[in-house]
Amino acid sequence: MSNVVNLRCACGTVKGKLKIVPGSYFHVHCLCCDCQSFASYLKKEENILDEHGGTELFQTYPEYMEITEGSENIGCIQLREKGLYRWHTTCCNMPLANTMASPKIPFVGISAKLMQFGNEKEKTEVLGPVTMKAFGKYSKGDMPKDAHPKFPISYMPKIIGFMLKGMLGKKNIPSPFFRNGEPVTKAKVL
Ligand SMILES: [Zn+2]
Ligand SMILES: [Zn+2]
């Protein structure tokens, strides 16, 4: 069984849908300095980051994410050449998602802030708990007790399995961020 969650930016211009497919996602917190830099670039640190500087992400296949309204308001940055594509809205500077710079990689890390739930209980029922907190060494203040200082090696087999399944199933397309193998908008390198 899969659930569909509505996506909406802060001002409501950009809307979309996300299919939640069991076994095809990771619900994580990323505490890395790049995610923190992205939030400060958008001038939305207090809206995006938790008290430790963590960003809540829902990592899944691009095929499962759809932008249904306002796609002309999609912007993209790279913190450096060859960095991840960090997609955001241009209407209200909300983070949308991270992807690799290549459209061939079946991966999208969607900002949980876009996801519309009635309440926290409903959210936990649909997404399950956060299963990994990575790059805790970049935490603001004390590192959360359940965070890993870097990236837990125990997670690697899961990530490899996820990527293989995504590649074999061609779950990189369709993507809200690439069309005919090209990004929907040109990334601005900071
Ligand atoms: Zn907006
Ligand atoms: Zn990060």
| pLDDT (tens digit per residue) in 44-58 | 999 999 999 999 999
pTM: predicted TM-score of the whole model, two decimal places: 0.95
Q: Which ligand has an atom closest to residue 67 CA?
A: 1
Tell me the CA–centroid distance for residue 151 and ligand 2, in Å: 11
Q: Per-residue pLDDT for 1 more than 60?
A: no
Closest to 159 in 3D by CA, of 25, 22, 18: 25
pLDDT at 101: 96
Residue 76: pLDDT over 90? yes
Cα–Cα distance for residue pair 28/162, rounded to 1 Å:
15
Average pLDDT estimate for 109-132 = 94
Query: What is the structure's pLDDT at 2?
Result: 63
Q: Is the pLDDT of residue 34 over 60?
A: yes
Please state, in angstroms and as integers, the Cα–Cα distance from residue 155 to each residue in 77, 128, 132, following that order: 27, 17, 9
133 pLDDT more than 70 = yes
Question: What spacing in Å lies between the alpha carbon of 30 and ligand 2's midpoint?
Answer: 4
Q: pLDDT at residue 24 above 70?
A: yes
Cα(91) to centroid of ligand 1, in Å?
4
Alpha-carbon distances, residue 181 vs 14, 81, 86, 165, 174 (angstroms): 22, 19, 17, 20, 10
Nearest listed ligand to the Cα of residue 7: 1
The reported pLDDT for the residue numbered 31 is 96
CA dist 88 and 97 (Å) reads 7
Ligand having the closest approach to the CA of 11: 1
Gap from CA of 33 to ligand 2 centroid (Å): 6
| The amino acid at 132 | M
